[in-house]
Amino acid sequence: MRGLKKYIKANMLVVIVMIMTALPGVSMAESITERPSGAEMTADLAFVRPLMLGATVLGTAVFIVSSPFSALGGNFKEAADTLVGTPFRSTFMRCLGCGTKHMVK
């Protein structure tokens, strides 16, 4: 009987610790509805978008060179998404001044 009580207490302690460690993550899970400022929009247009366009062009070139190897390795779609799709979406499919979490998928 004592062993059962210790077992139940230990399991309850584990559950309580798990709940306590999960609470900060739940409180941080709220969506952020901040709008980018004019300076952020300007910096995005002047610096980030041209860099991401260059990354898209460079990623496309690397993908074309590596596509036979990707096809043989069985990860053609993953390579296309990583090398071309992600920079393309970051360049053209997110709002001006927004971060990557605001990208259209």
Q: Average pLDDT for consecutive 10-residue bins of the chain (105 residues)?
A: 75 71 57 77 92 94 94 94 93 84 56
Give the structural domain span for 95: 37-102
Q: How many domains does the chain have?
A: 1
Asked whether residue 19 is domain-assigned, the answer is: no
Q: Does the residue 18 lie in any domain?
A: no
**Domain annotation covers residue 11:** no
- Domain membership flag for residue 64: yes
| Cα gap 100→102, rounded to integer Å | 5
Q: Tokens at residue 41, please? A: 């929009």
Residue 24 inside a domain? The answer is no
C-alpha span between 67 and 60 (Å, rounded): 10
Give the per-residue pLDDT at 101.
61
Task: Report yes or no on 21 lying in a domain.
Answer: no
State which amino acid sits at residue 50: P
Q: Quick check: is 90 in a domain? A: yes
Q: Is residue 26 part of a domain?
A: no
CA dihedral 68, 73, 77, 80 (to 10 degrees): -50
Q: What angle do CA 79, 95, 48 make, to 5 degrees?
A: 65
